[in-house]
Amino acid sequence: MRPSGRNLSDMRPISIETGVMRHAEGSCLISCGDTKVLCSATIEEKAPPFLKGSGQGWVTAEYGMLPRATNSRNRREAAAGKQSGRTQEIQRLIGRALRAGVDRRALGERQIVIDCDVIQADGGTRCASITGGWVALRLAVNKLLKANIITTDPIMDHVAAVSCGIYAGQPIVDLDYAEDSEAGTDGNFILTGSGRLIEVQMAAEGATFSRPEMNQLLDLAEAGIAQLVAAQKAAVA
C-alpha cells in the first residue's frame, strides 16, 4: 500500500488554473496533489544573440522554490548569491523539454521565457513545472497568433512529464515526497502528447532495476502522461 492510499497506477489529483497572473502573456497554477507550481510565460521580441539572423526563436526556462515550499525553510538563492546546481539542472531540463515541442522557425526571432516558481513541494516539482510550463507557453503563443504577429502555430505537440519509481518493490506512478524519499528506483519521463519520448531520467537510488521493471515504469508513465495531456487540453480549451 502506498502511503497516500493510492493504487500503484493512480495519479494524484491534477488541476490547472489559467490566467492567474495579470501581466504575463500566459500563466497557470498547476497542482499535482500537494505540489503546486506557478508558471508564467513572457514574450521577448528578440532572440538570444547566438540566434541573431537565423530566423529561429528560442524557449527557455527559469525555476525557483519559495523558502517555505518545503517543511523547513530553504534560504533564498538570491541571498546566497548563486543558484544551486539542482536549480540550474532543473531549469535546463524544463527548457529542453518545452523546446522539443516547438517549431522554432515558425516562432520567429523571438524568445519566450517560462518562469516556474514552486510555492509548495511534495515531490515531482520538475514534472509539474514542465506540464504547467507548456500550458503557459500555449497561452502565450495563442496571443501571438491572435495578434497576427505569427501566422503559423509553432507548437507541434503537447509536452508533459511524470515521475515513476520502484517503491517497496512495486512500480508506481507520480511519486509524492514520502515515496520519492524511500524509492529504490526513481525516474522522470517526459513525453509528447502523441507518446514520443523527449527525455527519460532514471537512477537506482537504493537498488538496481531490471529491463522488465523499466518497461513497467514506461507503461505507467504513458498512462499518466495521457491524463496530464487531457488536463492541459481542458485548461487551454
pLDDT digits (tens), the chain, 237 positions: 799 899 999 999 999 999 999 999 999 999 999 999 999 999 999 999 999 999 999 999 999 999 999 999 988 888 888 898 989 999 999 999 999 999 999 999 999 999 999 999 999 999 999 999 999 999 999 999 999 999 999 999 999 999 999 999 999 999 999 999 999 999 999 999 999 999 999 999 878 999 999 999 999 999 999 999 999 999 999
Q: Is 124 annotated as a binding residue?
A: yes
* Residue 86 assigned to a binding site: yes
Q: How far is CA 200 from CA 22, 23, 78, 111, in A?
A: 34, 34, 30, 26
Domains of the chain, start order: 14-236 (3.30.230.70)
* Gap between the Cα atoms of 175 and 148, Å rounded: 42
Residues 6+ apart with CB under 8 A from 125: 35, 37, 65, 90, 118
Give the DSSP per-residue string, 176-231: -HHHHTT-SEEEEEEEETTS-EEEEEEEESSS---HHHHHHHHHHHHHHHHHHHHH
Helices (H), 7-83: 77-80
125 is in an annotated binding site: yes
Distance CA 218, CA 200 (A): 9
Q: Is the pTM of this model over 0.75?
A: yes
